[in-house]
Amino acid sequence: MNSRKGQRIAMLSEALSQHRSLHIRQAAAILGVSEMTVRRDVSACPEQFSFLGGHILPFIAADAESPYEISKAADSHASAKREVCAQALKYIRPDQTIFFDCGTTLPYLIDLLPDDILMTAVCYSLNVAERLARKPNVRLVMLGGLYHPASASFSGSSGLETLDALVIDVAFLSAAGVDGRRGATCAHFHEADIKRKAMSQAQTSVLLIDKSKIGKLKPAFFSDMQSFDAVLTEDGLTDLSA
Amino acid sequence: MNSRKGQRIAMLSEALSQHRSLHIRQAAAILGVSEMTVRRDVSACPEQFSFLGGHILPFIAADAESPYEISKAADSHASAKREVCAQALKYIRPDQTIFFDCGTTLPYLIDLLPDDILMTAVCYSLNVAERLARKPNVRLVMLGGLYHPASASFSGSSGLETLDALVIDVAFLSAAGVDGRRGATCAHFHEADIKRKAMSQAQTSVLLIDKSKIGKLKPAFFSDMQSFDAVLTEDGLTDLSA
DNA sequence: AGAGTTATGTTCGAATTTTAACAAGGCAGC
DNA sequence: GCTGCCTTGTTAAAATTCGAACATAACTCT
């Protein structure tokens, strides 16, 4: 593969992490090449992109966490995720500052919280924020930035700087892949930045995963397994430190 | 709406919760109607589905409406606000950076935008962000911070600093009170901070109000009337500079 | 430099999607 | 039953996308 071609595909990936779809015409304009070249680029990586009537869509892996797939993923792992979150409840005490990671797992935890729970919540995902905003006694701090539809989350230096000024009692993390040797990984690098910073600011870091994540590897590494104070799965406390 | 039509739309929702997309032909076969009818059904609920080259895509399932949304539904000035926003459309050109204020007016403007509009949107309100996030070609920048339920908005220095780094083409502002002599005011001081900074970064500042706001005064002042490049009400362009 | 290979652009026709217009069918109210 | 209104189906034309074929440009290797 050409290096130019590689660059273009990377640019496409980047653009598609910010948009749910991109028309070939726009892509051609952005990349400064002809539409035909865009077609060829996209066709060259069917595992990354798909065509739909002149629009380029990011390909969603079966287990990827994307707005499109949330309902399906929720169906298959919903009960597991609820069990995991039920265990997480005992790490929370009144009036603490809690960090909520993005993904499809954490919303279950929020739903399990008492409606009038008192806490300061920190998050960087739109759908997590919406849920937290409904709790009347939650003081919500949101890390803003550039929006990424794939995870409904935000990225940017302002969010990282906001974290610098926060003392977090408990950070609840999620991961798209967990491996005993290689550690915890996620799909996007901007998520990894936030996760790392949140863990460094937290007294206690708790990883919440369903077992389908074990043994998987995703591109963005964010922590080795030893750094978590607890790793919860639907089977309870788990030790994956190889 | 027909009851048959309602059933078909429900069946479409069901089918699309398990697949990322559905071709019109398949949908027609499943529903036992013609492709044209499927087209008409889908076009009838643009907030639930979208077309992409012969395929039907689901939108993210919208969760229950937040308290703030509910109050919006009971908004007595809805039609006036829609009219104001219809006029605001002509200030927008493709590929610009647009600032959206918080409040109950701006959501109408977003609903009036074409689904595939290309822009960079800047906002600091949860319900505005939620709406903007559904537009596939909008690059969304969110100013985070501490959440204020009264206006579903965020406050904090990180948002103001993010604005420092932005060049805004058009800023659409709202106000809770507008007075020819005293200028534009709003209910909360943190909103005023953001509004002022957004206006200072914007090439063009447009104030969107319904006439019920005229003559009212609220605690937080944010701009005199001369500083707006346009003031739109349901009666059109208005000059309130006393 | 020259030949061979690969990458990119252009063009064109086939296939597909979109849209509008009109016809047919169903249903409520009189 | 008839009328008027709404829904659905059919058709045809317009616009768009797809994919192949060929031409040109760029790059690699000797």
For residues A49 and A79, state if they share a domain. Answer: no
The DSSP secondary-structure symbol of B77 reads T
Could you tell me which residue, B154 or B114, shows the higher pLDDT? Answer: B154
Judged by DSSP in three states, B115 sits in: coil
Residue B205 pLDDT grade (very low, low, confident, very high; cuts 50, 70, 90): very high
Indicate the residue among B15, B31, B58 that finishes a domain.
Answer: B58
Percent of chain B with pLDDT over 70: 86
User: What is the pLDDT at residue B86?
Assistant: 85
3-state secondary structure chain A: CCHHHHHHHHHHHHHHHHCCCEEHHHHHHHHCCCHHHHHHHHHHCCCCEEEECCEEEECCCCCCCCHHHHHHHHHHHHHHHHHHHHHHHHHCCCCEEEEECCCCCHHHHHHHCCCCCCEEEEECEHHHHHHHHCCCCEEEEECCEEEECCCCEEECHHHHHHHHCCCEEEEEECCCEEECCCEEEECCHHHHHHHHHHHHHEEEEEEECCHHHECCCCCEEEECHHHCCEEEECCEECCCCC
Q: How distant is the Cα of B187 from the closest Cα of chain A, in angstroms? A: 20
Q: How distant is the Cα of B47 from the closest Cα of chain A, in angstroms? A: 14
A133:B154 CB<8 A: no
Q: Which residue from A minimizes the CA distance to B20?
A: A68
* Residues of A with Cβ-Cβ distance to B25 under 8 angstroms: none
Q: How distant is the Cα of A181 from the closest Cα of chain B, in angstroms? A: 34
Query: Is residue A231 domain-resident?
Result: yes
A154 forms beta bridges with: A147
For residues A159 and A101, state if they share a domain. Answer: yes
Query: Is residue A137 domain-resident?
Result: yes
Indicate the residue among B39, B58, B77 that finishes a domain.
Answer: B58
B130:A134 CB<8 A: no
For residues A161 and A222, state if they share a domain. Answer: yes
Query: Is residue A242 domain-resident?
Result: no
For residues B232 and B144, state if they share a domain. Answer: yes
Could you tell me which residue, A219 or B62, shows the higher pLDDT? Answer: A219
For residues B117 and B182, state if they share a domain. Answer: yes
Most distant pair of Cα atoms in chain A: their distance: 59
Mean predicted confidence (pLDDT) in A88-114: 91
Averaged pLDDT score across all residues of chain B: 83
B156:A133 CB<8 A: no
For residues A160 and A183, state if they share a domain. Answer: yes
A216 is near strand C: CB distance < 7 Å: no
| Closest nucleotide to the alpha carbon of A54, via C1' | D17
For residues B185 and B86, state if they share a domain. Answer: yes
A20: domain CATH number is 1.10.10.10
The DSSP secondary-structure symbol of B62 reads P
Per the structure, how many domains does chain A have? 2
* Residues of A with Cβ-Cβ distance to B154 under 8 angstroms: 142, 144
Query: Is residue B22 domain-resident?
Result: yes
CB-CB contact of A226 with A182 (8 Å): no
Query: Is residue B209 domain-resident?
Result: yes
Q: What is the pLDDT of residues A179-203, one digit of tens each?
A: 999 999 998 889 999 999 999 999 9
For residues B25 and B50, state if they share a domain. Answer: yes
A39 is near strand D: CB distance < 7 Å: yes
Question: What CA–CA distance (Å, rounded) separates B127 from B208?
Answer: 18
A147:B130 CB<8 A: no
CB-CB contact of B124 with B143 (8 Å): yes
Query: Is residue A128 domain-resident?
Result: yes
* Residues of B with Cβ-Cβ distance to A18 under 8 angstroms: 139
* Residues of A with Cβ-Cβ distance to B15 under 8 angstroms: none
For residues A10 and A46, state if they share a domain. Answer: yes
A150: domain CATH number is 3.40.50.1360
B10: domain CATH number is 1.10.10
B144:A146 CB<8 A: no
Q: What is the pLDDT of residues A112-150, one digit of tens each?
A: 888 778 899 999 999 899 889 888 788 999 999 999 887
For chain A, which residues lie within 8 Å of any Cβ of chain B, measuring from their own Cβ? 18-23, 26, 52-55, 57, 60, 67-72, 124, 126-127, 129-131, 133-134, 136, 139-147, 149, 152, 154, 156, 158-159, 161-162
Q: Is the pLDDT confidence value at B209 over 90?
A: yes
Percent of chain B with pLDDT over 90: 39
B23 is near strand C: CB distance < 7 Å: yes
For residues A112 and A9, state if they share a domain. Answer: no
A129:B136 CB<8 A: no
Residue A20: left (phi > 0), alpha (psi -120 to 50), or beta?
alpha
Query: Is residue A120 domain-resident?
Result: yes
User: What is the pLDDT at residue A229?
Assistant: 96
For residues A16 and A85, state if they share a domain. Answer: no
A129:B126 CB<8 A: yes
Query: Is residue A168 domain-resident?
Result: yes
Range of the domain at A190: 67-237
For residues A50 and A167, state if they share a domain. Answer: no
* Residues of B with Cβ-Cβ distance to A19 under 8 angstroms: 136-139
